[in-house]
Amino acid sequence: MAVRAAGAYPPVQVQGKHPVYAEMMLGNIGGANSEMSALAHYRYAHVMIDDPHIAQLAHQISVVEMQHFDTFARLAKLLGADPRMWQSYGGSKKYWSPGYVKYGTCSLHGLLQQLIQEEHDAILKYNQQAAYIQDPLVVESLARIIEDEQEHWKTWQEEFSRL
Q: Is 49 helix (H, G, I), strand (E, B) or coil?
A: coil
**Is residue 11 in some structural domain?**
no
Look at residue 38 in the predicted model and tell me its pLDDT.
96
**Is residue 146 in some structural domain?**
yes
**Is residue 42 in some structural domain?**
yes
CA separation for the pair 157, 117 (Å, rounded): 10
Q: Is 37 helix (H, G, I), strand (E, B) or coil?
A: helix
**Is residue 7 in some structural domain?**
no
**Is residue 60 in some structural domain?**
yes
Q: Where are the alpha helices (DSSP H) in the chain?
A: 19-30, 35-48, 52-78, 108-132, 136-161
CA separation for the pair 34, 154 (Å, rounded): 19
pLDDT tens over the chain, length 163 residues: 788 999 999 999 999 999 999 999 999 999 999 999 999 999 999 998 899 999 999 999 999 999 999 999 999 999 999 999 998 877 889 999 999 998 877 789 899 999 999 999 999 999 999 999 999 999 999 999 999 999 999 999 999 999 8
Look at residue 90 in the predicted model and tell me its pLDDT.
78
Say which DSSP state 87 is in. Answer: E
**Is residue 132 in some structural domain?**
yes
> What's the pTM?
0.95
Look at residue 152 in the predicted model and tell me its pLDDT.
97
Look at residue 163 in the predicted model and tell me its pLDDT.
85
CA gyration radius, the chain: 16
**Is residue 107 in some structural domain?**
yes
> Which CATH number fits the domain that encloses residue 105?
1.20.1260.10
